[in-house]
Amino acid sequence: MSHDRCLYSNMVALSPVLVLTYLSYFHSAVLSFPLDQQSHDTSSCGYKSCHATVPNMLNVHLVPHTHDDVGWLKTVDQYFYGGRNDIQHAGVQYILDSVVGQLLQNPERRFIYVETAFFYRWWKNQPPSMQKAVRQLVDQGRLEFVNGGWCMSDEATTHYSAVIDQMTLGLRFLNDTFGPCGRPRVAWHIDPFGHAREHASMFAQMGYDGFFFGRLDYQDRTNRIRTLEQELLWRASESLEPPYADLFTGILPNGYNPPKGFCWDQSCDDAPIMDDPDLEDYNVDDVVQRFAAAANSQAMAYKTKHIIMTMGSDFQYENANLWYKNLDKLIRYVNARQANGSQINVLYSTPSCYLQELHRSNLTWTLKTDDFFPYADDAHNFWTGYFTSRPALKRYERVSNGRLQTCNQLEVLGGPSSRKGPFGAGDSETLREAMAVAQHHDAVSGTEKQHVANDYARRLANGWQHCQVVVSNSLAALSGSSAGRIYCDNLNVSACPLTEASKKFSVNVYNSLARPVVWPVRLPVNASAYTVLDATGTPVDCQVVPMSKATQQVRKDRGYAVNELVFQAQAPPLGYSTYSVSVLQNGPPSASVKSGPPAAIQNKFVRATFDPATGLLDSLTNLETQQTIKLTQNFYWYNASDGKSSISDQASGAYIFRPNSSSPFIISCTAETESIQTPELQEVRQQFGPWVSQVIRLHSNSKALEMEWTVGPVPIADGLGKEVITRLDSSIASSGVFYTDSNGREVLRRKKDFRPTWDLRQTEPVAGNYYPINSRAYIKDDKDQLTVVTDRSQGGSSIHDGSLEVMLHRRLLHDDWRGVGEPLNEMSGVFPLGLVVRGRLLLSLTPPALAADAHRPLAQENVLQPLLSFTEGGPPPGSLLEFSGLQAALPPAVHLLTLSQWGQDSLLIRLEHQFQTKESKEHSVPFTVNLQKLFSTLKVVGVSELNLSANQWIDEMKRLDWRPKMAAKPLRKPLGDPSMWEVILTPMQIRTFILRVAPRR
């Protein structure tokens, strides 16, 4: 491109033709590749670099690969360097060193690499000569990146927003480093333990041509082998117009391992190819024969004349010579038999080369519209425990995602001084990388060793330290006050040294949503009366309540407050509001606590009644819609199988949930209760025994009933592992059907003891009906829908009609033999007797037609909770006490999913329609957003649209098209945008843009 950079700022006023030209300039300027890549063409990488195949023969695609977990038995650092080989022999740096050397020796050889978290570290340490050699390998398609995210994310316990971020991080590095030849064509999730529909939808929107994985239910696989349906077309969205979320999906034949007898890694014991006929151990004939048998047998289970063999496994290729030397020979000797009539052709290949051949076969493929959960590898081995494993880490990961979004936004809104300002130098990258690492399928999933879980948490905490500086600098720039800011990370157990000690302080409430929120603020304090003023100096209603015993117990010596101050804070869209709090002398005493259950708690929207005999919840009423259901709730535990009864007996562990009995044990039939009832706040405090308590709460403005649970230390003195659930039993006629979300987005229908695509033989009546809940689950009948919004990923089910259960905590005494080698028995310095976990569920009762209107915004508020920061004393005079980064709130259906700095004067933004088609009368319709009217402090002067992962221009994203078996309905034409600045969002659509911005005067 020859355009001068300075022309750019005139873009807005240009004629349409010129705008196109300038936009393409904008393209090259934003997705920037190294200089020597500028003239690069892609004629020798990607599909063009594939080896030729032989028509009419069985073509066996050998895919050399390594599966490198971004932390599992060792930390990500230990895996990279090869430290702690006493735990597991694995060193990724040596793998990449070795593979590159082997690729350079023979241009026929191929290798794929997956986890950018590792590749990026290795690349940084290479001298320019090595980088040049590797670039050439990539340009020639000899080294191919597949998947390409920072890690291979877990699919059951991740939130879509964090998955999109981690993919963007990895793919951006590949794009910046290698240009178009570094862009992966194939998504590759060979190890995750079940597969989410939302992941498939995201991969489709990221431009992948196909997707391969290794694990699915054993009954499902048997069935698909029989019907030749291990390759299929996944229609991954009910809302997005096909083929927008269609993804070709292939199930690998052997997990991700080589066929039996053909593993030539240093970690394997299979015989090498011994090809000197003069030596006694000569085995070429034997190897060729066994290989032909393996290939022919595999071919029986697939449709085309092409099959794929994954030649590698966990951390293999550290000494790549072993693999390649034998693979070279295998190819030579097997293909030599073609002269004698053999019909097998073996070649070095990659997943994309294999995919290309499937595409060329021009077949039609069965269409799948549900997902691949739950995953069982045998009759009593359901991998449904990890939906809940490590509940505190799961919550911390979710909180950290909210902090990262806040940090990203404030970095943009505060301008350059956010990174370097009055509080020093900060960055968002540290937390971005820590979050990306935490998405790995042994991280947030909870299936890592304890010391690795600690490492993930430490990384998130460290990332937040870096972000705090950005946030403080930015708030100083926006407010005009650089008074010191305190962040209280232990507010969930009501500990915050500043509010406990101070007589006068101010609270900044930053809201990262693009619409205003009202949020209950709850602070530990020691006086009994306070005045709270909003940003205009107007007093707001507040209440002081005595701190519960349960909170004092979990808080321990981290705080010393005796009371909690509660008020409703309002914060503007993408902005903050500041509240001033001061002790009121001679004020009214704090609210009184009455013992025993109240008949009911209620505000103007909701009423919950209690059984006076048991102290348990009894009914729930929506006062606006005048509907009431019978509703009880209690805590139970399943007795985890200990796996001792026989050698093949399966124990519950980090991965697997296997209760000994389908009936859980009740913890207590009654709860000791006390209550507080004031106009601002109504709560019932329930104690179910020494290790389970709950607060059922209604704030004056809330439309959802809050249930804050505290569970732990789970007792194990009886020698029994326990899996603790909360269960809601209602009068709703749910008829065996319930609903769970997929990665926090679209909702899937679940039916007890049923799978949509095969006749299930149910062998685990509880564990076999568990599904991941990432943000919500519900049951309904014609009249009533009860929706539960969660604060982290958890497992759950509906085992009885009208019932909905969520697993909260697991403490287990045995390993479940899936590799982690430790029982899931969490203890820590703070909780030496066992981990105590606290969280909350939000309950919403509505008619089904109005349910999404309530749960969509509720779940989003819960994921992106406001960030509170505190300053000692009153707000400095002259400082700006309220700020919004938006000119106006976005419509309720539109979520600002991403706002982060991309280049010096460019931003990455994602706008999301957060409603599904048909789920809301009011909101499931297209909305238009004017990009130029978005920001209050930034002028948008250029716009370009990208794919979901921001590594390709949307108009250049051309995916392979696949034909479903069923007759396709005629495609609807997508709605055209009214102008380049006004973009339309249809239900569940996410649109990704780079905006060029300038400060608004």
Active-site amino acid positions: 191
**How far is residue 747's CA from residue 627's CA, in Å, rounded to a whole number?**
24
Closer by beta carbon to Zn ion, 445 or else 548: 445
Distance of CA 977 to the CA centre of its chain: 30
Per the DSSP assignment, residues forming a β-bridge with 676 are 683
**Choices 189-197, 637-645, 913-921, 978-986 (CB under 5 A): range interacting with Zn ion:** 189-197
Query: Can you read off the two tokens belonging to residue 817?
Result: 């033999």
In whole angstroms, the minimum distance from the beta carbon of 90 to Zn ion comes to: 11
Number of residues forming the site for Zn ion (CB under 5 A): 2
In whole angstroms, the minimum distance from the beta carbon of 69 to Zn ion comes to: 4
**How far is residue 344's CA from residue 287's CA, in Å, rounded to a whole number?**
14
Provide the total of helices (H) and of strands (E) in the chain, helices listed first: 17, 48
Closer by beta carbon to Zn ion, 73 or else 886: 73
**How far is residue 568's CA from residue 541's CA, in Å, rounded to a whole number?**
8
**Cα torsion for 515, 520, 525, 531, to the nearest 10°?**
70
In whole angstroms, the minimum distance from the beta carbon of 315 to Zn ion comes to: 10
Closer by beta carbon to Zn ion, 66 or else 177: 66
Closer by beta carbon to Zn ion, 72 or else 610: 72
Which residue number places its CB atom closest to Zn ion? 191
**Choices 20-28, 63-71, 359-367, 722-730 (CB under 5 A): range interacting with Zn ion:** 63-71
In whole angstroms, the minimum distance from the beta carbon of 72 to Zn ion comes to: 6
Closer by beta carbon to Zn ion, 311 or else 554: 311
Closer by beta carbon to Zn ion, 190 or else 527: 190
**How far is residue 927's CA from residue 920's CA, in Å, rounded to a whole number?**
13
In whole angstroms, the minimum distance from the beta carbon of 740 to Zn ion comes to: 24
Closer by beta carbon to Zn ion, 151 or else 204: 151
Task: Check: CB of residue 705 under 8 Å from CB of residue 606.
Answer: yes
**Choices 187-195, 360-368, 694-702, 797-805 (CB under 5 A): range interacting with Zn ion:** 187-195
**Choices 184-192, 680-688, 784-792, 863-871 (CB under 5 A): range interacting with Zn ion:** 184-192
**Choices 69-77, 393-401, 427-435, 516-524 (CB under 5 A): range interacting with Zn ion:** 69-77
Q: Are strands 186-189 and 722-730 parallel, antiparallel or unpaired?
A: unpaired
In whole angstroms, the minimum distance from the beta carbon of 209 to Zn ion comes to: 23
| DSSP string of 902-965, one letter each residue | EETTEEEEEEEE-S-TTS-TTTSS-EEEEGGGSBSSEEEEEEEEE-TTSSSBGGG--PPP-EES
**How far is residue 865's CA from residue 406's CA, in Å, rounded to a whole number?**
10
In whole angstroms, the minimum distance from the beta carbon of 67 to Zn ion comes to: 6
Closer by beta carbon to Zn ion, 190 or else 565: 190
Interface mask toward Zn ion for 191-210; x: CB under 5 A:
x-------------------
**Cα torsion for 270, 272, 273, 277, to the nearest 10°?**
-110
What sections of 337-421 are H helices per DSSP? 351-360, 391-414
**Residue 499 φ/ψ, nearest 5 degrees:** -70, -25
Q: In the window 831-860, what residues touch Zn ion (CB under 5 A)?
A: none
Question: Of 304, 869, 812, 854, nearest to 576 (Cα)?
Answer: 869
**Cα torsion for 821, 826, 829, 833, to the nearest 10°?**
-120
**Choices 64-72, 111-119, 359-367, 926-934 (CB under 5 A): range interacting with Zn ion:** 64-72
Question: Taking the CB of residue 402, how many other CB atoms lie within 10 A of it?
Answer: 18
**How far is residue 786's CA from residue 997's CA, in Å, rounded to a whole number?**
44
Residue 392 to residues 775, 809, 920: CA-CA distances in angstroms? 15, 9, 33
470-483 as b/e: b if 16+ CB within 10 A: bbbbbbbbbbebbb
In whole angstroms, the minimum distance from the beta carbon of 162 to Zn ion comes to: 18
Closer by beta carbon to Zn ion, 69 or else 618: 69
Task: Check: CB of residue 955 under 8 Å from CB of residue 177.
Answer: no
**Choices 7-15, 183-191, 619-627, 833-841 (CB under 5 A): range interacting with Zn ion:** 183-191
In whole angstroms, the minimum distance from the beta carbon of 943 to Zn ion comes to: 39
Of 68, 69, 154, 723, the residue at the interface with Zn ion (CB under 5 A) is 69
In whole angstroms, the minimum distance from the beta carbon of 320 to Zn ion comes to: 20
Closer by beta carbon to Zn ion, 69 or else 455: 69
Task: Check: CB of residue 71 under 8 Å from CB of residue 152.
Answer: no
Q: Are strands 990-999 and 906-913 parallel, antiparallel or unpaired?
A: antiparallel
| CA pseudo-torsion sign 148, 150, 151, 155 | negative
SS3 686: strand
In whole angstroms, the minimum distance from the beta carbon of 256 to Zn ion comes to: 9
59-85 as b/e: b if 16+ CB within 10 A: bbbbbbbbbbbbbbbbbbebbbbbebe
3-state secondary structure 437-472: HHCECCCCCCCCCHHHHHHHHHHHHHHHHHHHHHHH
Query: Can you read off the two tokens belonging to residue 689?
Result: 């025994």
**How far is residue 846's CA from residue 829's CA, in Å, rounded to a whole number?**
43
In whole angstroms, the minimum distance from the beta carbon of 70 to Zn ion comes to: 9
Per the DSSP assignment, residues forming a β-bridge with 883 are 576
Closer by beta carbon to Zn ion, 87 or else 716: 87
SS3 338: helix
Closer by beta carbon to Zn ion, 194 or else 866: 194
Query: Can you read off the two tokens belonging to residue 786?
Result: 């009860």
**Choices 46-54, 68-76, 514-522, 959-967 (CB under 5 A): range interacting with Zn ion:** 68-76
**How far is residue 570's CA from residue 649's CA, in Å, rounded to a whole number?**
54
Per the DSSP assignment, residues forming a β-bridge with 996 are 906, 942
**How far is residue 616's CA from residue 212's CA, in Å, rounded to a whole number?**
48
For 639, half-sphere exposure in the C-beta direction (CA atoms, 13 angstrom radius) is 11
**How far is residue 188's CA from residue 213's CA, in Å, rounded to a whole number?**
6
In whole angstroms, the minimum distance from the beta carbon of 200 to Zn ion comes to: 19
**Choices 80-88, 185-193, 320-328, 836-844 (CB under 5 A): range interacting with Zn ion:** 185-193
Closer by beta carbon to Zn ion, 139 or else 154: 154
Q: In the window 661-700, what residues touch Zn ion (CB under 5 A)?
A: none
- Interface with Zn ion by CB under 5 A: which residues? 69, 191
